[in-house]
Structure 1
Amino acid sequence: MTSHVDPRFGSTLRQLRRESGLSLRALGQLTHRGKSHLHELETATKAPTVETAEHLDRALNADGALVRLVSAPVDHQAEADDLLQRVAASDVSAETLTRIEQGVDDLASLYPVTAPVDLLPMVRRHLAYVTRLLDGRVTLAQQRRLVVAGGWLAVLRATVHIDLQQPGAAAAHLAAASGLASHAEHPEIQGWCLETRAWEVLTFGDYRGALELSQQAQQVAPVGSSAHIQATAQEARAWARMGVVRETRQALDRVERLTANLPVPERAEHHYRYDPAKAEAYAATTLAWAGDPGAEHVARSVLAHLDPLGDGGTRPRRAASARLDLGLALAAAGRPDEASAYAAEAVASGRVVPSNWWRAREVLRRVEQTGAPEAAELRDVYEQFGPTRTGE
């Protein structure tokens, strides 16, 4: 059994610690816990126990603020069994299928605001439901709905593994998702599999591979679908990393045309439903990578929209990425002091997932190349909050 942790736990702990004027090292001495352990709690790469939350509450005089963000242990096996007991041995009810499909949408909507380490067990649990139901007696129509749900969950799970820098697990679940999509004849899931792989290889520096995969995704996904738009945006980013400005601009123009009349989806935070605001955020990243002078203006606009109060906003992960984009654009514009400030905010936010730390390193490298005194401060923040690699 594991405890469910509110995604706000890390940011709340960090805020309480700072309000108390304590460094990670000082809080560690008070609580007899290592600095690295506290850092993992603040950045949500490790989930706290109820006991740890109570201990931190006492040390920070938080009056139970932290322990209220950690629920009692959840018996996931009992939950799974309870769900399956509702299903007759010879039939999967329409209510059960609808509940599973709603669960898929809920998880995809949690993706932008939930730490990968917290989201992963939830996705695993839902995949277990689907797998066990598929082992039972189902009609062909029921089987297809289950296979489609399993395909979406498998590609989401692969994405979370990529965020956690677990390439072996990511590859296995991308292959599973692709197989399920093929079985269900579902081209959009197939497109997302290719686009997700394109993003992964781009983070490894294989820009040509990312370009080819994103173009394949556009050929597979239905024209105008979210997967097709995302793959087009991914193509633009691959061209930008390769330094090919003309093709970068052409791909961005195609994204703009595809999203010009796109309505805001009912759940704009849904990872697999493209919303118009995402197009601007991707343009900011792409222009910053391409060294385009327009990157600063676009990145500032994105950040103002995502985080008007400076508290992370409703999409804190995207806001952190926007700060990195703005930092990179400012470094290219010869303003390393501002670049350092925005990058430091992103790094200290705890919202940069492991697969995105290379973007923070890139801003740090650009600032250090200028010889600006702010580089040392950014280096200190990076080393304090920098990544802890998660094992396979």
Structure 2
Amino acid sequence: MAVSGMETLDIISRLQASDVDNATMEALRITTDRLCSEYALLPAPQLLIEGRNWLQRVLALRAQRLTLSQHREVLSMAGWLALLVGCVEYDLGDKRGAEATRRAALSIGGEAEHAGIQGWASEMRAWFALTTGDYRGVIAAAQAGGEVAAHQGVAVQLAAQEAKAWARLGDRRQTEVALDKGRRLLEGMPYPDNLDNHFVVDPAKYDFYAMDCYRMLGENRMAEALAGEVIRASTDFDGAERSPMRIAEARLTLGVVAARDGDLDGALNYGEWALRGDRQSLPSLLMVSRELATIVNRDYADAPQGRAYLDHLTELSQAAH
């Protein structure tokens, strides 16, 4: 793939030179941004291979003759790539590898004195804790990250993760406090240049966070309305899905609401639809799918179509381990 007028092979050959010029650094910046921007759509195994390869190449640059500013920028690019690799590892169910990569990114962010990278490493810790049911761990990670990255875009997502944890603990007041904090932070930030970059907070994503919280709090109509808005905002005019993982969780939210309303067929239709996506984050998908499964088990235990959905979910859970 051409990168800023320079082919990948050209970049790699330049990386082997004793000195790294400005054109090479710019090509690496663009490559890093491109990879982070392909998170939502590129098949996870392919993105993982590319991300790891470029991370190794960037880290190898530290052995070259670099200026002080180049050294810091190389560390920053390595930090973003490590964050990306860790996210994809976790999506694929490699929890141990993802945590090791997250810690490496945190260390790189500290060495580079880059608050954004350190903040995103904390956000990943909060995400990991959320999907494993460690809600107090989510709150601790979110608050720690918020202290380090109070003026970075990631502070919005850290507040949202905290809100999601409070919602699961059943604390409506603290959920609203955290959501309001994130909303205020978002309103005070400039509109981002590249919404596709996974480590840029998309203002439209805040409805996605709020949807999760209101679903957990049993606010069915609010969750349903927000799910519809998430699907609309994440779909192009031609029907192409720009954010398939967000859409999957929105469909699961609609499924949970349908199940609570007594519409089993509608609930299972949404539930199965959510499981069919090509690009999935298995831990997050399974976390929300289990909410629907709990209702099906409790309220529709004798329905054969419910059993088929539960079996499908069990297969997916086994594949994630």
Q: Give yes or no for TM over 0.5.
A: yes
Tell me whether 1:170 sits opposite 2:98 in the alignment. yes
Tell me whether 1:274 sits opposite 2:201 in the alignment. yes
For residue 319 of structure 2, give the secondary structure of its aligned residue in structure 1.
coil
The residue number in structure 1 matching 2:4 is: none
For residue 303 of structure 1, give the secondary structure of its aligned residue in structure 2.
helix
Distance 1:285 1:351 in 2: 20
Tell me whether 1:203 sits opposite 2:101 in the alignment. no
The residue number in structure 2 matching 1:376 is: 307
The residue number in structure 1 matching 2:225 is: 297
Which of 120, 124, 148 aligns to 2:76? It is 148
Distance 1:169 1:221 in 2: 25
Describe the shift of the 1:326–1:390 C-alpha distance in structure 2 as closer, same or farther (beyond 3 A): closer
Distance 1:237 1:133 in 2: 39
Distance 2:239 2:309 in 1: 20
Contact persistence 2:155–2:182 (CA under 8 A): no
Which of 346, 356, 367 aligns to 2:296? It is 367
Q: Quick one: which amino acid aligns to residue 68 of structure 2?
A: L
Q: Quick one: which amino acid aligns to residue 184 of structure 2?
A: R
Distance 2:45 2:320 in 1: 9
Distance 1:308 1:250 in 2: 33
Match runs of 1:72-87 below 5 Å = 82-87=10-15
Describe the shift of the 1:172–1:349 C-alpha distance in structure 2 as closer, same or farther (beyond 3 A): closer
Q: Quick one: which amino acid aligns to residue 298 of structure 2?
A: Q
The residue number in structure 1 matching 2:143 is: 215
Match runs of 1:3-14 below 5 Å = none
Match runs of 1:320-359 below 5 Å = 320-356=248-284, 357-359=286-288
The residue number in structure 2 matching 1:111 is: 39
For residue 86 of structure 1, give the secondary structure of its aligned residue in structure 2.
helix
Tell me whether 1:229 sits opposite 2:145 in the alignment. no
Contact persistence 1:109–1:269 (CA under 8 A): yes
Contact persistence 1:307–1:313 (CA under 8 A): yes
* Identity within the alignment, %: 34
The Cα RMSD (Å) is: 2.4
Q: Quick one: which amino acid aligns to residue 159 of structure 1?
A: C
The residue number in structure 2 matching 1:139 is: 67
Structure 2 regions of 5+ residues with no counterpart?
Answer: 2-6
Aligned length: 312
Displacement after TM superposition at 1:310 (Å):
9.6
Distance 1:350 1:214 in 2: 30
Contact persistence 1:152–1:189 (CA under 8 A): yes
Worse-matched range after superposition: 262-271 or 150-159: 262-271
Higher CA-based Rg? 1
Q: Quick one: which amino acid aligns to residue 168 of structure 1?
A: R
Contact persistence 1:80–1:125 (CA under 8 A): no
Displacement after TM superposition at 1:314 (Å):
1.9
Which of 170, 179, 182 aligns to 1:243? It is 170
Normalization by structure 1: what TM-score?
0.73
What are the Cα deviations for residues 54-103 of structure 1, in whole angstroms up to 9, with x where unaligned? xxxxxxxxxxxxxxxxxxxxxxxxx9775342247431111111111111
The residue number in structure 2 matching 1:17 is: none
Describe the shift of the 1:80–1:305 C-alpha distance in structure 2 as closer, same or farther (beyond 3 A): closer
What are the Cα deviations for residues 115-151 of structure 1, in whole angstroms up to 9, with x where unaligned? 3222100101111111221122212111111001011
Tell me whether 1:314 sits opposite 2:242 in the alignment. yes
Q: Quick one: which amino acid aligns to residue 332 of structure 1?
A: R
Worse-matched range after superposition: 168-177 or 298-307: 298-307
Displacement after TM superposition at 1:269 (Å):
1.7
Q: Quick one: which amino acid aligns to residue 295 of structure 2?
A: R
For residue 280 of structure 2, give the secondary structure of its aligned residue in structure 1.
coil
Q: Quick one: which amino acid aligns to residue 368 of structure 1?
A: N
Displacement after TM superposition at 1:273 (Å):
0.8
Describe the shift of the 1:348–1:80 C-alpha distance in structure 2 as closer, same or farther (beyond 3 A): closer
Q: Quick one: which amino acid aligns to residue 154 of structure 2?
A: A
Match runs of 1:81-100 below 5 Å = 82-87=10-15, 89-100=17-28
Structure 1 regions of 5+ residues with no counterpart?
Answer: 5-78
Distance 1:196 1:382 in 2: 25
